[in-house]
């Protein structure tokens, strides 16, 4: 097991290096840069821009240097100083902007992940053990709807229904009277009252896809001879399911941890705008539209790092659960 952990840790280092390069290149792919977008906004407002001002702005933002020089300065500052640069749009350190939104992002994403597992496992097991029953058809239909429906559209529908039938508009995690207030028990209770909607909306697609995976894996396993042998020994049905097919069905759900968490974070970008959430997703969207390369690149780098860490954790859990992985 120790050798397996060391091998995985050695792979992480070049992976993070490649992710940092790709994150910086992807942000630079659109034509122009932040300065181009900024000048277009000034011209649209009627301001007159001359070449000397443009050149001064390029030197100020470091945009007169080649892309590889900009990348090496950026990555060197991250490694040596923990400095992700300064956001062009906000004129603030990138790390300060991200730190403001990370707690709420992690709260919503982790709660969505927990809800996904809590709901998907019982439904997936029930659908597999009651194949072609009315409820199996219902859950299958709802799963396809959940996978195919965009999360922002579901958010709009949910907000409309809540306002229509309860008169309560859930826009944001906090009510207006608690928005700028310091933390207190009343503010915590207000957050709990409002946070369930974004948690469910963000987690719907994950629930739907995981139900399909668990159902398919369980159906594949419960027909195998070792399950028939367990039943022949007289084991109760719940023990047969938990001890044998469920253990195998858990493997793909464990391996999905790596991509599911970053998918939840990035998947709430448009949902965050619809529901007015102070999370990383809307910040990434606005930085990308403004071509704010240091802010957008840093967020993409952090999401990529979360993916690598999530894959490392899922690989360790998978190796612990299934010896074939660590000895394969």
Q: How confident is the model at residue 65 (pLDDT cuts 50, 70, 90)?
A: confident
Q: How confident is the model at residue 262 (pLDDT cuts 50, 70, 90)?
A: low
| Top-level class of domain 96-327 | mainly alpha
CA distance linking residue 25 with residue 304, whole number of Å? 14
When pLDDT is averaged across residues 282-287 and rounded to a whole number, the result is 84
Task: Give SS3 for 232.
Answer: helix
pLDDT for 297 beyond 90: no
93 DSSP β-pair partners: 86
pLDDT of residue 286: 84
Residues of the chain with CATH 1.10.3720.10: 96-327
Among candidates 296, 273, 101, which has minimal Cα distance to 202? 273
Task: Give SS3 for 151.
Answer: helix
pLDDT of residue 86: 80
pLDDT for 117 beyond 90: no
* Average predicted confidence (pLDDT) for the chain: 81
Q: Where does residue 294 rank: exposed (0-12), middle (13-18), buried (19+ CB within 10 A)?
A: buried
pLDDT for 312 beyond 90: no
Tokens of 46: 């009627």
pTM, rounded to two decimals: 0.78
pLDDT of residue 134: 93
When pLDDT is averaged across residues 295-301 and rounded to a whole number, the result is 86
């Amino acid at each position: 097991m120790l050798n397996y952990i060391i091998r995985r840790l050695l792979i992480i280092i070049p992976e993070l290096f490649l992710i940092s390069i790709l994150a910086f290149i992807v942000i630079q792919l659109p034509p122009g840069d932040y300065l181009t977008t900024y000048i277009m906004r000034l011209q649209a407002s009627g301001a007159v821009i001359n070449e000397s001002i443009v050149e001064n702005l390029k030197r100020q933002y470091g945009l007169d240097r080649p892309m590889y020089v900009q990348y090496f300065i950026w990555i060197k500052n991250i490694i040596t100083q923990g400095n992700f640069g300064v956001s062009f749009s906000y004129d603030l350190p990138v790390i300060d902007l991200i730190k403001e939104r990370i707690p709420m992002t992690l709260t919503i994403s982790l709660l969505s992940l927990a809800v996904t597992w809590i709901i998907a496992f019982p439904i997936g097991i029930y659908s597999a053990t009651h194949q072609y029953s009315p409820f199996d058809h219902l859950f299958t239909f709802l799963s396809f709807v959940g996978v195919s429906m965009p999360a922002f559209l579901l958010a709009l529908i949910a907000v409309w229904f809540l306002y229509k039938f309860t008169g309560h508009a859930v826009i944001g995690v906090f009510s207006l009277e608690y928005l700028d207030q310091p933390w207190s028990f009343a503010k915590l209770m207000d957050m709990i009252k409002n946070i369930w909607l974004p948690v469910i909306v963000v987690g719907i697609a994950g629930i739907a896809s995981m139900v399909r995976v668990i159902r398919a894996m369980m159906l594949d396993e419960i027909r195998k001879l070792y399950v028939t042998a367990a039943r022949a020994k007289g084991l109760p049905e719940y023990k047969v399911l938990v001890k044998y097919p469920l253990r195998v069905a858990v493997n793909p759900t464990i391996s999905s941890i790596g991509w599911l968490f970053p998918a939840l974070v990035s998947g709430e970008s448009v949902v965050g705008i619809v529901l007015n959430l102070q999370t990383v997703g809307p910040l990434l969207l606005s930085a990308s539209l403004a071509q704010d390369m240091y802010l957008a690149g840093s967020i993409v780098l952090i999401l990529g790092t979360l993916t690598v860490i999530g894959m490392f954790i899922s690989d360790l859990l998978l190796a612990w659960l299934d010896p074939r992985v660590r000895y394969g």
